[in-house]
Amino acid sequence: MKIRVNDVHPVKKTEQIRTLIKKVINDVARMENNNRLLSQCPICNGQIDFFTNINGFDLFSCNDCEHIFCNPYPTYEQLNRCYNGEIKKLENEIFLETFDKRVEIFLPRVDLLCRLKKDGKLLDIGSAVGVFIDALEKRNSRYHITCCDISRDSCEQLRKKNPDQSINIICDDFMNLDESSNNKFDIITLWDTIEHIIDVDGLLGKIKRLLNPNGIIAFSTPNTQSFLWSIAGTNHPQLTPPTHLNLFNTKSAHLLLNKNGFNVIEQHSLNASIDISFVKNLIKNKQAPIQNIGNFFQQCLNDPMFDEMLEKYLVSSHKAGNLIFIAKFSQ
């Protein structure tokens, strides 16, 4: 079944949380921040340029790897204020309200993991209310699961959902996790978490120390070279500094992984129905510049795969340049 954007972002609550975030972030942007303004890309050390300002925070982009990041990065005091109880509580309400649809998004991810490793110890960093954990259960996965989340509210929800204590729940910053030899993992997952982290090299270093030999890491993060990004531009809903601090594309993600000693085994981009429905909403609300739509399709036309798909579409929807009729005399 196709998942659409409103299935996972219910209109009313999404509007509520946007208003709340705007209110909180206005105050946060005015808080003192003495962090250093970076003069190079944090991923590849390439040259950077100002990209846009959102919520009072400057975003820069790299001329080489096109990584987008908040510059300067916010302080921990500013982040603590953003992740206050009120926003997290409303976010968790949205997660719970749309739980089943979100589980559907995660089922293909579980299938990918099970194909690579059938069992072993799995650590999920940033589990939130446990959508991924539910997807693991739905697929009867055989992993021994540990969840780590810094939010008390989220861990409370996780405990409620797992009263039999079959999973290990750690309510702490993942950087504090025990690295002793009896606490190594075969799989470490981070779903939509890495974009919230300032020190992404530090994160991968920690993960490396927590992985068993032959262990794997799996993560998802917004793709700044997606269909939706190409159309929405600087109005993209994922441009939410200071909560989203590092926004990746294929090239910058590969560079980050490689420089920290990881090799990409597989790369995927799933659930495109959400992007398509989002773009349709933008078009309906006159928030999708025609120029952006034109640019996206112009680039696509150079891709042989798109070319072939478009040809099939034009033929089957009778939109090719010729019309051929075959008729028969009925009476």
Q: Which residues bind Zn ion (CB under 5 A)?
A: 41, 43-44, 46, 62, 64-65, 67
- In the bound state with Zn ion, the residue whose beta carbon lies nearer, of 43 and 148, is 43
Q: Choose between 5 and 200: whose C-beta lies nearer to Zn ion.
A: 200
Residues 6+ apart with CB under 8 A from 298: none
User: Which runs of E-coded beta strand occur in 35-150?
Assistant: 48-54, 57-62, 68-70, 119-125, 142-148
Shortest reach from residue 62's CB to Zn ion, in Å: 3
> Closest by alpha carbon to 89, among 152, 135, 180?
152
Report which of 217, 187, 214 is spatially closest to residue 205, judged by C-alpha positions: 217
- How many residues are recorded in the chain? 331
Contact 207, 234 (CB under 8 A): no
**Phi-psi label, residue 140: left if phi above 0, alpha if psi -120 to 50, beta otherwise:** left
Closest separation in Å from C-beta 48 to Zn ion: 7
Q: How far is the CB of 45 from Zn ion (least distance, A)?
A: 7
Nearest approach in angstroms of CB 50 to Zn ion is 15
- Looking at this protein, which amino acid is placed at residue 104? E
Residue 116 Cβ vs Zn ion, minimum distance, rounded to whole Å: 29
